[in-house]
Amino acid sequence: MLRNALARFAQLAGENLATKPVTVTVPDIPQTLAKCLSTGCRVASASFLVLAVIFSPATKAQTWEASDKTESPYFYMPDGDPSVDALPLKATEVDVKIAGVIADVTVTQTYRNEGSRPIEAKYVFPGSTRAAVHALNVRLADRLIVAQIREKVRARQEYEQAKAQGKTAALLEQHRPNVFQMNVANIMPGETVRVELRYTELLANDAGRYRFVFPTVVGPRYASPQSPTRSEQWISQPTLPEGVASPAKFSMKVALDTPIGIKEVVSSSHAIDVKQPNDKRAEVRLAADPTRAANNRDFILDYRLAGNAVESGVMLVRGKGGDAENFFLAMVEPPKAVPERIITPRDYVFVLDVSGSMHGFPLDTAKVMMRELLSGLRPTDTFNVMLFESSNAFLNERSVPATGENIERALSMIGQRGGGGGTELIPALHHVYIQPKPEDVSRTVVIVTDGFVSVESEAFGLVRKNLDQANLFAFGIGSSVNRHLIEGLARAGMGTPFVVTKPDEAKDAAKRFREMISAPVLTSVKARFEGIEAYDTVPDALPDVLAGRPLVIFGKWRDAGDGASPRLTIEGRRADGEYRQVLPVADAVDGERFPALRHLWARQRIAEISDQEALIGGDSGLREQITALGLKYSLLTKYTSFIAVDHEIRNPNPQGAVSVNQPQPLPEGVSNLAVSGAYVPGAPEPQTLGALFVTLSMLAMIARRASRQRRRHWTL
């Protein structure tokens, strides 16, 4: 009830402050209150300031300003100007074609200006972490404009120039590998603009299951006051309040074609209609569901094939032309796991996010997840649990044996926590890695979070820097987790990412985790080609092969010239001795039939270099490598963008155009506490309590003065 009252007050205050934004920090509350009272504002307003103290982090400015200048997400509030269309995104259509293990995706965003003034539409939207975005087209009535890849700064300059000239232009930028921004300038009144972007991604087999994921919403990101990412404008995206659906339509269709019979097609996230003309083809569409919005959570499609075994093998693609490049893709089924009895004891450190964005459904799901994870430990294992938000703390001074008593005590303490405070991931990781560990124990770090932070690169570098201390598994909890963080942490920590979208998935995820970490089935892995010369392979260093997780290798190749038949040999160590597997290589196919492989290789290579850049930092020359790869292979990266410009001048008065930031819905299950200024800190800071004491004292003094004035008035 109190939160609803605060939300209503904020709405009313926003209407009054629409022409004059106000920013109030906690130390300023007494001064602001005094000014408010001296100018005759009502006691209700003063009371709201007191509540602001209680519900605000002590060191964070609370801003009720719908503009790009804010430093964090804010609730969208209409400005009441009927001449401006504040919601220009009308629809998003997703067309997916899956052939074998490669998905080709076309996303069409339809913008329409239903106001009476020209606008520039800005929209932050998510994408797959593995997506290789390689094309952008813009359709204006009967005209098609094909975008060009440019260095990011140059693309921005070309866009701004076209906007100032009154030309319709579109700019696609990458803020994170899974967060993009579309800017469309000079959309005229009554005009419709359709923007099409295309990407491809690899769908690897995971324990006999293939999964296609399409994220639909970017969750609100927490930016630490000390983080260098805090000034990034995309973080300050407008957000619709909890329970308010986006008016933009969302549609999805998937055409699935496989060389092996399809056994099952299901979605755990959406209601779907599935048609199967034959056993090797399936057509999927969203089913009508008036009770739930479709674009406030990840769309997840799982399918199984008639043969559950991973199809091990190597695909060679031969380019055309004198300087054409040849590419390969190798997928290797892991060997069977060895018995647990010969595996050395392990220590597990569970790092649980209890911040404001985890409040409610995500934290409830995380608690179920933690019970499943802890209950699966062996008596010979040890464990500890860290809870983190604005601060962090371990439940035990050091790791304790995984006895039933210790596990129940940990679960009881976890169960008492609610969500509140910021998401200070980096200090938590630092605290984890300084914990001492016996030399004969293998340590595994398990992070459980929604990932709503903006410090991904810092986190990846920190994890990779401490690989000699522990490997890392990441569990993303929620309907729209930050998969870039979850998958990147696991990649940097040589572990595996898991995403749990609802409580009933926790048991299966925990079971998969236990199967994987019961023993790495193959370590010290090496891949050796014969008959061809392989180079520029990714990953550079092959990770441990875990149960149910196939080994995937990309690379380039050229003829070895020795006449030997091509083959791939995988070597490594198991707990019971040496391991060796030889795979034949199929004849090379025409590169024009498989153009996706060059994009997929380049995307993987860029991800690897980006991890190195996060670890090294500074002017390492890696930025130039990423830029060169993006330009050569026509890929969207953090240093390259797509720019499309219409040749016609369509807006004679471009200075009069208005910029509009398309708001996003809150992810399903995420409360208003995830938005900056709305969450509750875990514990009041000293300066908060001091400001609160001063403010309450002033209110008490004002109340006494008002009472004396009323008595004097009655006496007269």
CATH code for the domain of 404: 3.40.50.410
Pairing of strands 442-449, 471-477: parallel
Which of 53-67, 358-372, 536-550 is least confident?
Answer: 53-67
Residue 660 backbone phi and psi in degrees, to 5:
-125, 125
- Token digits of residue 141: 């009535």
Is the pLDDT reported for residue 670 higher than 70? yes
Is the pLDDT reported for residue 309 higher than 70? no
Q: Which residues pair with 590 in a beta bridge?
A: 318
pLDDT given at position 511: 86
Mean pLDDT, residues 358-369 taken together: 90
Band of the pLDDT at 30, cuts 50, 70, 90? very low
Sign of CA dihedral 534, 539, 543, 549: negative
Domain for residue 216, yes or no?
no
Is the pLDDT reported for residue 83 higher than 50? yes
pLDDT given at position 339: 66
Sign of CA dihedral 648, 650, 653, 659: negative
Write the pLDDT tens digit of every residue in 659-669.
999 999 999 98
Domain for residue 527, yes or no?
no
Distance of CA 77 to the CA centre of its chain: 25
Which ranges constitute the DSSP H helices of 497-595? 506-517
Distance of CA 519 to the CA centre of its chain: 29
CB-CB contact of 216 with 250 (8 Å): yes
pLDDT given at position 225: 72
pLDDT given at position 199: 96
CB-CB contact of 494 with 471 (8 Å): yes
- Token digits of residue 306: 């008639």
Last residue of a domain, one of 494, 517, 540: 517
What is the rounded CA–CA span in Å between residue 135 and residue 104? 11
pLDDT given at position 204: 77
pLDDT top residue among 514 and 434: 434
Last residue of a domain, one of 517, 547, 576: 517
Band of the pLDDT at 704, cuts 50, 70, 90? low
Q: 431 by DSSP, 3-state: which?
A: helix
pTM comes to 0.77
Q: Taking Cα atoms as reference points, which of 665, 673, 681 lies closest to residue 237?
A: 665
Is the pLDDT reported for residue 18 higher than 70? no
Distance of CA 401 to the CA centre of its chain: 34
Neighbouring C-beta atoms of residue 315, cutoff 10 Å: 17
Residues contacting residue 117 through CB under 8 Å, at least 6 positions apart: 83, 84, 189, 656, 657, 658
CB-CB contact of 665 with 240 (8 Å): yes
User: CA-CA distances (angstroms) from residue 257 to 99, 279, 299?
Assistant: 5, 9, 19
Mean pLDDT, residues 163-173 taken together: 96
Residue 86 backbone phi and psi in degrees, to 5:
-85, -10
Domain for residue 689, yes or no?
yes
Domain for residue 319, yes or no?
no
Residue 603 backbone phi and psi in degrees, to 5:
-65, -45
DSSP state, 57?
-
pLDDT given at position 237: 86
Last residue of a domain, one of 475, 502, 517: 517
Residue 17 backbone phi and psi in degrees, to 5:
-100, 10
What is the rounded CA–CA span in Å between residue 472 and residue 495? 5
Mean pLDDT, residues 352-372 taken together: 91
- Token digits of residue 256: 């699935």
What is the rounded CA–CA span in Å between residue 716 and residue 710? 10
pLDDT given at position 44: 47
Band of the pLDDT at 322, cuts 50, 70, 90? low
State the amino acid at position 356 in one-letter form: G
pLDDT given at position 69: 42
pLDDT given at position 156: 97
Which ranges constitute the DSSP H helices of 205-282? none
Band of the pLDDT at 419, cuts 50, 70, 90? confident
| Mean pLDDT, all residues of the chain | 82
Cis peptide bond prior to 438, omega within 30° of 0: no
Per the rule left: phi > 0, alpha: psi between -120 and 50, beta: everything else, 260 is: beta
- Taking CA 463 as the corner, what is the angle to CA 459 and CA 469, rounded to the nearest 5 degrees? 155
pLDDT given at position 630: 97
- Token digits of residue 482: 């930050």
Q: 446 by DSSP, 3-state: which?
A: strand
pLDDT given at position 37: 44
Band of the pLDDT at 73, cuts 50, 70, 90? confident
What is the rounded CA–CA span in Å between residue 308 and residue 581? 20
Query: Residue 136 is inside which H or E element, if any?
Result: strand 132-140
Return the axis-axis angle of helices 596-616 and 456-465, rounded to nearest 10°.
80
pLDDT given at position 64: 34
Domain for residue 372, yes or no?
yes
Q: 135 by DSSP, 3-state: which?
A: strand
Write the pLDDT tens digit of every residue in 264-283.
999 999 999 999 999 889 99
Domain for residue 156, yes or no?
no
- Token digits of residue 437: 């560990």
Domain for residue 496, yes or no?
yes
What is the rounded CA–CA span in Å between residue 541 and residue 657? 51
pLDDT given at position 118: 96
pLDDT top residue among 699 and 588: 588
pLDDT given at position 595: 82
What is the rounded CA–CA span in Å between residue 202 and residue 200? 7
Mean pLDDT, residues 43-56 taken together: 46
Is the pLDDT reported for residue 77 higher than 90? no
User: CA-CA distances (angstroms) from residue 497 to 334, 489, 529?
Assistant: 17, 8, 29
Q: Taking Cα atoms as reference points, which of 267, 264, 278 lies closest to residue 306?
A: 264
pLDDT top residue among 382 and 68: 382
CB-CB contact of 462 with 426 (8 Å): yes
pLDDT given at position 168: 95
pLDDT given at position 708: 64
Which of 31-35, 111-115, 345-349, 614-618 is least confident?
Answer: 31-35
Residue 650 backbone phi and psi in degrees, to 5:
-110, -20
What is the rounded CA–CA span in Å between residue 82 and residue 91? 21
Write the pLDDT tens digit of every residue in 482-515.
999 999 898 888 788 999 988 888 888 888 888 7
What is the rounded CA–CA span in Å between residue 696 and residue 708? 18
Domain count, the chain: 2
- Edge-to-edge strands of the sheet including 589-590? 532-538, 551-559, 326-332, 313-318, 589-590
Domain for residue 114, yes or no?
no
Q: Which domain holds residue 505?
A: 344-517
The owner of tokens 């199929």 is 586
DSSP state, 503?
G
Per the rule left: phi > 0, alpha: psi between -120 and 50, beta: everything else, 290 is: alpha
